[in-house]
Amino acid sequence: SPRSLPLAPVVVRGCTAMGLFAEICGGWTYRKTLWWSWIWNSLIAILFSGCGIAVSQKLNKLDWVTNAATGEVDETSEKLVGGLVANISWGIILNALFLIFSVVVLLRKTIAKTGAGFSYGLIVGSAIHMFFAQCEVAIALDSHDKWLKQSLAESTVWASQDNNTYRAMYVLGFLSSISYLIFAVIMIVCMKAVMKESSEPYTEFRDRYGVSSDRGARSSQGP
């Protein structure tokens, strides 16, 4: 009716504002989920690295001399402990590199919203790689827990508190591996957090491979 015509622009503006508000809130939810998962993953990785540094320092102070008069050294135990220290150090280095690289890329992506490109995909792949790397480190530490406890039962350098720190380290390693896998899944699910439009992944796929609805309709009609 003529009386309802003046309400049409108001309804249109209201629907547009509601759509814009939903788009902003949706994007903010994706970004918030992405960043909280990164913070949680980083917290576990930092705790693991802190325990790893403390344990490595204690292991390096151990003396494997079996005979003080002759200077005979238990080379097997010494090399085994050296391998554990190298394994822990490798895990700490990988965690540090991942955290530094990921925070730089995510800051750039979530602020500029340049889309999920090579660097974003590289973080997803690195997170999956860290899942396997942290599992390897934790399994290696867990398998030597009993041997280390028995070998250092009479040591004056290695105390019972160090055993607890050692166990906490490989437990955190397992938790960190699971956290990396969850973070990789969240990065894939929350990919819209780094994109300007929600349909951007599908638009890029369509433009890259030449797939469009118009082209499909023309091909189905034939010559």
- Taking only the tens place, the pLDDT of each residue in 25-81 is 445 688 888 899 999 999 999 999 999 999 988 888 876 655 555 556 667 777 888
What is the residue whose two structure tokens read 């997170």? 127
Q: Got the DSSP string for 119-161?
A: HHHHHHHHHHHHHHHHHHHHHHHHHTHHHHHHHTTT-SSS-HH
Q: Tell me whether residue 206 is exposed, middle or buried, using C-beta atoms within 10 angstroms of its C-beta: 0 to 12, 13 to 18, 19 or more.
A: middle
Kindly state the average pLDDT of the residues 180-204: 75
pLDDT of residue 68: 52
Please give the angle made by the CA atoms of 130, 54 and 68, to the nearest 5 degrees: 120
Paired residues of 73 in beta bridges: 65
pLDDT at 205 over 50: no
Q: How confident is the model at residue 134 (pLDDT cuts 50, 70, 90)?
A: very high
The pTM of the full predicted model, rounded to 2 decimals, is: 0.72
- Taking only the tens place, the pLDDT of each residue in 97-111 is 999 999 999 888 888
- Average pLDDT over the chain, rounded to an integer: 77
Integer CA distances (angstroms), 11 to 1, 21, 25, 139, in order: 15, 15, 21, 62
- Taking only the tens place, the pLDDT of each residue in 154-178 is 777 788 888 889 899 999 999 999 9
